Structure 1
């Protein structure tokens, strides 16, 4: 039974990602899995039950690609930005998961319980928060555990930008600039020249 539930959830994710929320029906899942009509209804009576099954499946994706990156002790904003972008590249191998999650976030706006399960993704998000905290601490950012939540929000936004296939942006530049800003705020001074922030000496101006 557990295997069948997993198959149904996987089929639901595929349908959401490729055909949209309106195509997510019990009948379409039956057809996707070549099951007898009514088979999916045995495991998920209502549409809400079906969505809950899919959310549980998405929540069990415990591998955090961003957290899997190696973080050097001599971290700089640019190096941190490169790590984040590399993680985004890896996690987009599961693009269908992310598209399904985005559609369900919109679908479940009026259902606080399901929406909370989708938006928090406890295991994966908590792991990235821990990784972000380490990054910010190495960069000398004050209150790293607090700022890590905002950092995670920025990365999540960049991920959604990829998912919806919006106009491309310079992700490394955005993340590096954000981190430099946090470092400057922590030092109570305006942001330095990007080259200086990375530890490079500035070229003297000529009079």
Structure 2
């Protein structure tokens, strides 16, 4: 999972990468400025100097994770646009995307934790609403020419199903993840394509 250059450099990015690891290991309850400093190997107080409050830390972390995921989706869809009528090719692209994300399951776990927290925090909901709108638009472009009566609904169902595959895979032992994704994604994409 490769974030765009704008989110990869500098001390702030270093702190946010450490925060990803903290949340993946300890959940949001374990996310403190002190825990991020310790994980990053930086002096105590560094994280709070960059992100003053816990809310600021959560929002910055959500933006960091959403930015990485959005970048990878953009890269995938720029290649998939030329063969969106070929379910096998789309399945291969989606499979490659999920396997790339599963190389860093801590990012997937952190995104899941933040998504749940967003239901209680409007400032996080805004970050994920922006990410979701972008993702919906990308997937809609892939399905809108399929003749489905409601392509927006089909896009939302496709995203929910892919999120389910990813979530399930992150809970599996490492050696089971790739075979599961390689089996599940083609079934899902072909089912959505045939049902469209």
Flag whether TM exceeds 0.5 (same fold).
Answer: yes
The 1:145/1:21 distance shift into structure 2, 3 A limit, reads closer
1:173 and 2:187 aligned: yes
Q: 1:159 to 1:16 in 2, by over 3 A?
A: same
Which residue pairs with 1:101 in the alignment?
111
Is the counterpart of residue 49 in structure 1 residue 74 in structure 2? no
Match of 1:77 among 87, 91, 94: 87
1:37 match: 44
Matched ranges for 1:125-136 at <5 A: 126=134, 128-136=135-143
Structure 1: how far apart are the matches of 2:137 and 2:103?
A: 23
Task: State the alpha-carbon separation in 2 of the partners of residues 160 and 73 from structure 1.
Answer: 26
Unaligned runs of 5+ in 2: 1-8
Q: Secondary structure at the match of 2:72?
A: coil
**When the two structures are superposed, what TM-score results if normalisation uses the length of structure 1?**
0.69
Given the alignment of the two structures, is residue 110 of structure 1 paired with residue 124 of structure 2, yes or no?
no
Decide which of 147, 150, 158 is 1:151's aligned counterpart: 158
Alignment: residue pair count? 178
Query: Radius of gyration: which is bigger?
Result: 1
Q: Distance in 2 between matches of 1:70 and 1:14?
A: 31
Let me know the Cα RMSD of the aligned residues. Answer: 2.9
How far the C-alpha of 1:120 sits from its partner, in A, is: 4.1
Give the match for residue 200 of structure 1: none
Cα separation, partners in 2 of 1:73 and 1:118, compared to 1, 3 Å: closer
Q: Point out the structure with the larger helix share.
A: 2
Match of 2:66 among 47, 59, 64: 59
Cα pair 1:11 1:33 within 8 Å, conserved: yes
TM-score, structure 2 length as denominator? 0.73
Deviation at 1:32, TM superposition (A): 1.8
Give me the whole-angstrom Cα distance separating, in 1, the residues matched to 2:59 and 2:147: 41
- Does the CA-based 8 Å contact 2:20-2:106 persist in structure 1? yes
Which structure 1 segments of 5+ residues have no match? 183-207
